[in-house]
């Protein structure tokens, strides 16, 4: 256990969940299911069962430090790594890796987003334990692949190769968000798994990968290697983090490296990236409608999700497969089939009315 570490990435905005997810309180800090725990808290609860508490790190934007402390009071302040600006997942993971290397050069690390839904937590824990054992023995970059149950176009796919160990395969290819025709082919072939965005590796393995594939990031950190886990570390990050290229770990390393493996799994996973994903994982009434912690009267309405904060009554007539979401000063009414436009709505709102609605 002394070599096991966890990095939870919690700095995103979650604009596809607008207007609930806002700049000042993005989706990882929200309690979507009315259970009294946010997605971030659920992620922490998941890992505290298998990783020592003082080995769990939260990487987030510095504007969310108070939210993290409020929601995770057990986390020590030195275990919250505060990014001065957003630079995608590769710089985030690089910083966490160099920080953990300074604490323990033998560390085996699981890296996970803070906003995913996992229904089968025991199976998930077994997969993480298996993965940590695997990377402690081999210089592997391991990702968790989810067996697909539908031709989903919103996820990335991993094509599996040869067996390495039971349920652990080599990776042939990564494919980002295919169209429906390709997604159907992928599912039917049985060779493709969803890319969960959850990674496991030894700290030396991932740092060597940064040195080879993203030297623009690693060189900056290597030149200042002595600042990590010292009082000078935050000043160095504040001065240098913005200079790192904004690039994902998938595109920057995983799609290029040859030592990439996938642990094929089923543990009730969703990236909970959209209103439709929330709809899919929420209880429904006889008309297949979902109401999220609000009072509603629905007439001739089916397949819709209604999420309205506050005490007002929502009355809907004649809508089918719609999103109706209100939070603070924004009301969104949008067909579920058009929800990919929500990011554009956010951009348009910012341009038309500044930041007051985002």
* CATH number, residue 109: 3.90.550.10
In this predicted structure, what is the pLDDT of residue 68? 97
In this predicted structure, what is the pLDDT of residue 234? 96
In this predicted structure, what is the pLDDT of residue 123? 95
d(CA 138, CA 335) in angstroms, rounded, equals 48
Note whether 232 and 325 are same-domain residues.
no
In this predicted structure, what is the pLDDT of residue 326? 94
Note whether 16 and 83 are same-domain residues.
yes
Note whether 126 and 179 are same-domain residues.
yes
Note whether 339 and 207 are same-domain residues.
no
What 3-state DSSP class applies to 198?
strand
Taking 50 as the pLDDT cut, the residues of the chain under it are: none
Note whether 147 and 115 are same-domain residues.
yes
Note whether 56 and 25 are same-domain residues.
yes
What 3-state DSSP class applies to 357?
helix
Closest CA to 58 of 50, 242, 69, 49: 69
Return the CA Rg of the chain. 21
In this predicted structure, what is the pLDDT of residue 244? 97
Query: Which residues are CB-neighbours of 309 under 8 A, at least 6 positions away?
Result: 20, 293, 294, 326, 327, 328
In this predicted structure, what is the pLDDT of residue 167? 87
In this predicted structure, what is the pLDDT of residue 124? 96
- The secondary structure of residue 331, as a DSSP letter, is E
d(CA 10, CA 61) in angstroms, rounded, equals 8
In this predicted structure, what is the pLDDT of residue 35? 87
Work out the burial of residue 166: count CB atoms within 10 Å of its CB; fewer than 13 is exposed, 13-18 middle, 19 or more buried: exposed
Domain count, the chain: 2
Give CA angle at 148 (118, 325), nearest 5°. 55
Note whether 147 and 262 are same-domain residues.
yes
Q: Which domain holds residue 254?
A: 2-268
Contact (CB, 8 A) for 160 and 173: no
In this predicted structure, what is the pLDDT of residue 252? 96
d(CA 301, CA 294) in angstroms, rounded, equals 16
């Amino acid at each position: 256990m002394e070599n096991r570490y966890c990095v939870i990435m919690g700095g995103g905005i979650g604009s596809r969940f607008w207007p609930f997810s806002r700049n000042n309180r993005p989706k990882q800090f929200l309690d979507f299911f009315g259970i009294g725990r946010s997605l971030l808290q659920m992620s922490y609860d998941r890992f505290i069962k298998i990783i020592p508490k003082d080995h769990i790190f939260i990487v987030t934007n510095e504007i969310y430090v108070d939210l993290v402390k409020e929601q995770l009071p057990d986390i020590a302040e030195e275990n919250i790594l505060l990014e001065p600006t957003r630079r995608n997942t590769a710089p985030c993971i690089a910083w966490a890796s160099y920080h953990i290397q300074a604490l323990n050069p033998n560390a085996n690390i699981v890296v996970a987003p803070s906003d995913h839904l996992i229904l089968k937590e025991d199976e998930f824990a077994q997969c993480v334990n298996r993965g940590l054992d695997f990377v402690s023995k081999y210089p592997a970059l391991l990702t968790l692949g989810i067996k697909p149950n539908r031709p989903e176009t919103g996820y990335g796919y991993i094509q599996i190769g040869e067996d390495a160990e039971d349920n652990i395969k080599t990776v042939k290819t990564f494919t980002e968000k295919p169209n429906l025709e390709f997604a159907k082919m992928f599912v039917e072939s049985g060779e493709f798994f969803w890319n969960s965005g959850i990674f496991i590796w030894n700290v030396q393995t991932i740092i060597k990968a940064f040195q080879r594939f993203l030297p623009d990031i690693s060189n900056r950190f290597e030149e200042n290697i002595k600042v990590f886990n010292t009082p000078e570390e935050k000043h160095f990050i504040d001065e240098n983090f913005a200079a790192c290229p904004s690039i994902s770990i998938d595109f920057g390393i995983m799609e290029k490296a040859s030592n990439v493996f996938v642990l094929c799994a089923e543990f009730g996973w969703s990236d909970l990236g959209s209103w439709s994903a929330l709809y899919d994982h929420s209880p429904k009434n006889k008309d297949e409608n979902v109401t999220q912690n609000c009072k509603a009267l629905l007439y001739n309405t089916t397949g819709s999700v209604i999420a309205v904060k506050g005490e007002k009554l929502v009355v809907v007539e004649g809508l089918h497969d719609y999103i109706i979401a209100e939070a603070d000063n924004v009301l969104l009414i949008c067909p579920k089939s058009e929800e990919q436009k929500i990011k554009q709505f956010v951009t348009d709102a910012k341009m038309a009315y500044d930041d007051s609605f985002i």
